Amino acid sequence: MTFLDSSIWEGLVFSGGWVNGSGGEYDAVEPATGKTLGRVGCGTPADVDKAVDQAVRAQREWAALPYSDRAAVLRRAARLFEEHRQEIETCLMRESGAVRPFAALQVSSGGAEECYEAAALAGAPYGELLRSGQERLSFARRRPVGVVGVIAPFNVPITLAMRAVAPALALGNAVVLKPDPRTAISGGVVFARVFEEAGLPPGLLHVLPGSADVGAALVEHPRVPVIAFTGSTRAGRAIGVAAARHLKRVHLELGGNSALVVMDDVDLDKAASVGAWGSFVHAGQICMASSRHLVHASVADEYTALLAQHADALPVGDPLGENVALGPIIDAGQRDNIHRIVTETVEAGARPAAGGTYQDLFYRPTVLTDVPLTAPAYAQEIFGPVAPVVPFRDLDEAARLAAGTEYGLSLGVLTRDVMKGLALAERVPSGLVHINDQTVNDEPLVPFGGVGDSGTGSRHGGSAANLEAFTEQQWVTVRGEIPDHPF
């Protein structure tokens, strides 16, 4: 029997063990081939209630354990990701359409490294001594919030869930995870199997694939005080409104329309390679993707031609095949939205320098030039392998264009003059800035998050952000004797 053998999980959800979900089951489909990967158990709001009841009870004992016990579970989970790396990678490739290197990055960084960092977080300082004007000991300490609800997307299912699941567990919380139903195996079953084998006590992690009503029930539940959501800005707004009605915290990592600014002093061959990666990696289905290429007017034509050469040379196909750079779009609805954006942008006056076509769910890497600033490919998040190129004439115009969006997730600036790049970054609201690199960057130990329509700031990564995200601060004072009061 393999680690992810379907006989363990098929038709079941993970909630205090492998059990039948109230929503029955459905087919998990491989986008590259249309083949059925297995039957996935489906949860309902009733399952959320049951899961939270179990989680509340289990969390008390988990939080009372020595930190070293929690850390040991996280370290074992990390080793399981390493030991079963190839099987989990293949699962990601088949279900999410990731090519092997991108799947490997998720397993190593998003899986193993996130767990190792969380294991260290379990033993990190969790409070501070405070000055007091009275004769008493005064300190602040961090306490687990209780139950954390995690709602994760399809595109990078391990990384974008684990960066909330692992630190939340390490800090003494229980977790109810709702994976995207399109990646319920790689983004759900994998988590359940890893922590089951790592020895996480029953009732602390629940995995409930399902429709939007499962996520809504999690957000509305009165005993789930914190929600970590990664997904679209539209859905994030709705979750933020619902959470606010219950005065609960919500950590939102949402969409992006990130700019890659290319100055006139760079090596254009390298710049085009960087730009191609930023726009086309994982078929552009990344929130941090380089969605707008802002290029100095004096080199814009040459850069566009080089970028188009890269796009035309990239092989697209089944990730399990050889020499494939881009896999499929996740489903027909997403593909059709990408093509709508490209088509409407061309109708608005843009010219396709490469791509703009598809076969089945395989969309060719696309480069657009002469793009009007009001066209969908420039103004909207694309979430596909599309690179609009827009020229600028000076630093002021570059800053104005880069900042001219409601989003604020990532910014890349390519220039030999690093100080000029930093000066530009000062003028562009963005949660992430990368000088001399493209916009798609992430590491488990650094703060991650966007501003504006991209989310509620850095709520993931690094001990400070995770403590803020998944604990409550409590003020404590201690006196040696009961004081005299005038009443």
Neighbours of 109 (CB within 10 A): 18
CB 413 within 8 A of CB 433: yes
- Choose, from 61, 253, 302, 468, the residue flagged as catalytic: 253
Could you confirm whether 115 is annotated as catalytic?
A: no
Among the listed residues 42, 91, 115, 287, the single catalytic one is: 287
Strands (E), 152-289: 174-178, 205-207, 226-230, 249-253, 258-262
Residues 6+ apart with CB under 8 A from 134: none
Instruction: Confirm whether 196 is a catalytic residue.
Output: no
CA distances from 4 to 40, 152, 179, 303 (A): 13, 20, 17, 45
The tokens describing 373, both together, are: 């600033």
Cα–Cα distances in angstroms (integers) from residue 293 to residues 49, 130, 370, in the given order: 46, 49, 12
Q: 461-478 as b/e, with b when 16 or more CB fall inside 10 Å?
A: bbbebbbbbbbeeeeeee
Question: Per the structure block, which two tokens stand in for 17?
Answer: 């063990």
- What kind and span of H or E run contains 410? strand 410-414
List CB contacts of 152: < 8 A, sequence separation 6 or more: 160, 161, 164, 177, 178, 179, 180, 187, 230
Give the residue numbers annotated as catalytic, written as ranges.
Answer: 253, 287
